[in-house]
Structure 1
Amino acid sequence: MITFENINTLGHLVIENHQYKHIHYPEMLLRYDSNFIEFKNTPSLAEFKNAENYLRNYHLKNGQKHVKFYFPANEKPAVEILDYMKKTGYAIGFLELYTIQPRQFPSVVDNPDIEIDVVTDKTLETFLELQYQQDLEFGSEFANQKIELHKRNFEEQNILQLIAFYKGNPAGSVDVIVSKETAEIDSLGVDENFQKKGIGSRLQKFVMEKFHDKTIILVADGEDTPREMYRRQNYQNHGFKYHAHKVYEN
């Protein structure tokens, strides 16, 4: 059975107790999804505040201005916790887990203007420049740190980086994290100048064909439009997970 446990977590385990796991990634301190606490059981408000205080102090020592929390899968946080987070400036959202068997993916019309390639030494710089431009909306420091992450991923044996070209122009990309039974679609993105041309579907189709013997998995923001695309493409929903983060001014 596929669960959120099958989704790759980028980060190092700092501490694990009966209540939560603390994940930290000093290689990229600005990446909220790699620096967080994940609750194993639904906390009380007092327990949440204790974890919040612990993580805030830990992050302050590392120059980090945020805290982030994940809650147990398929459980909505208690009302008093939601009220507290809303009153104290947290952004609250939820993720949805999707899976598909490659044969269930819809047929995709072949477009000779679109070319999908595995990133190699020859195309790495092009891939990195595409990523940098897309990540600039989060600030140059984040974009620069992300470049180093992409370089590390390029060396990883279990990560396949794909780049899409539209009429020869770099237009989209995706990372595929491969395990024994699954292939996880991660960071699927298409440059805004080339959207609605079928590039995202072609990237996915490439994954379906290359990993036809695996279950394809991904996580989508429960409040973003891509989730509707995944449903139309025959992906199946396997649950949700709430998360919340807060950014401090100092």
Structure 2
Amino acid sequence: MDNLSFGNLHTLGNVVKETELYRQFHFPEMLVMYDANYIEFKKMPSVPEFKEAEEYLINFHQAHGQDHVKFYFPDGEKPDSNLEIYLTSNGYELDFMELYGIRPSGFPEINPNLSINVQVVSEDNETAFLDLNYKHSLDYGKNYADQKRELLKRQLKDTKHVKVLAYYEGEPAGYVHLIQSDDTVEIDDLHVDDEFQKKGIGSALQQFVMSNYPEKIVILIADGEDTPREMYQKQNYQYVGLRYEVLRTF
């Protein structure tokens, strides 16, 4: 776990600009996805440095019809008081995400539930997976949901991306996106439909991951102020580190 960092996470965006201070990621296939279009600072910026990067990204995003700017700060570093005052007074939401990892052998055993059936997404169940994902993506607007559906279709043809669908009593109930690398498998977007909450589906999806990738380290990120992180801690995931981020929408 010592070698893990946020750099192990997959990003959809491509680096379109790099300076001594930051890297800019841009994903033209899905401009509405905040986590694929952002600036990542290599070192903590001063207020003047942040304002210069901010002005650049606002202009760049507005030229591409985007209504947000997002910035990631270096792992484990929180903006100082001067920068935090500037951010909060200019409409930014300051949050932090936590990175967790686990070796599959450390995941607690769960009692099999015969009502739950977990499958890798293939041609046979692709439509059910896409429809359930689309339903949840509509929370962010139809434009987002349409673009996400097309992205998922492309990823289903990429062996690095594995999509897993869980059924409860024959009904599509939850899913998880997995991203493979040489040493890790990343759990991304684990989601259980509201109708099927508290039935063990989230645990079953994770157990599927642990059983199918026993030699890899399983990694994921959790909102540092949200309750799922407490569940991961109880499931023996190890805390690796945190990263602060800010978002401003127009």
Q: TM-score, normalised by structure 2?
A: 0.98
TM-superposed deviation, 1:224: 1.2
Q: Counterpart in 1 of 2:143?
A: 141
Matching residue within 115, 118, 125 for 2:117:
115
Aligned residue type for 2:183: E
Deviations along 1:189-234, whole A, 9 cap, x unmatched?
A: 0001101110000000000000001011111111111100000000
Q: How much identity, in percent, do the aligned residues show?
A: 48
Deviations along 1:61-104, whole A, 9 cap, x unmatched?
A: 10001100000000001111111111111111011000000000
Deviations along 1:22-74, whole A, 9 cap, x unmatched?
A: 00000000000000000000000000000000000000110001100000000
- Divergent runs of 4+, >6 A: none
Q: Counterpart in 1 of 2:130?
A: 128
- The separation in 2 between residues aligned to 1:156 and 1:11, in whole angstroms, is 16
Matches within 5 A, 1:1-250: 1-248=3-250
Tell me the secondary structure at the aligned position of residue 7 of structure 2: helix
Q: How many correspondences in the alignment?
A: 248
Aligned residue type for 2:220: L
Tell me the secondary structure at the aligned position of residue 38 of structure 1: strand
Aligned residue type for 2:5: T
Tell me the secondary structure at the aligned position of residue 156 of structure 2: helix
- The separation in 2 between residues aligned to 1:72 and 1:17, in whole angstroms, is 15
Aligned residue type for 1:6: N
Deviations along 1:145-203, whole A, 9 cap, x unmatched?
A: 11011111101111110000000110000011011110110110000110111000000
- The separation in 1 between residues aligned to 2:47 and 2:24, in whole angstroms, is 18
- The separation in 1 between residues aligned to 2:82 and 2:37, in whole angstroms, is 24
- The separation in 1 between residues aligned to 2:155 and 2:112, in whole angstroms, is 29
Structure 1 gap segments, 5+ residues each: none
User: What is the Cα-based RMSD across aligned positions, in Å?
Assistant: 0.6
Tell me the secondary structure at the aligned position of residue 155 of structure 1: coil
Tell me the secondary structure at the aligned position of residue 86 of structure 1: helix
Structure 2 gap segments, 5+ residues each: none
- The separation in 1 between residues aligned to 2:20 and 2:102, in whole angstroms, is 33
Aligned residue type for 1:209: S
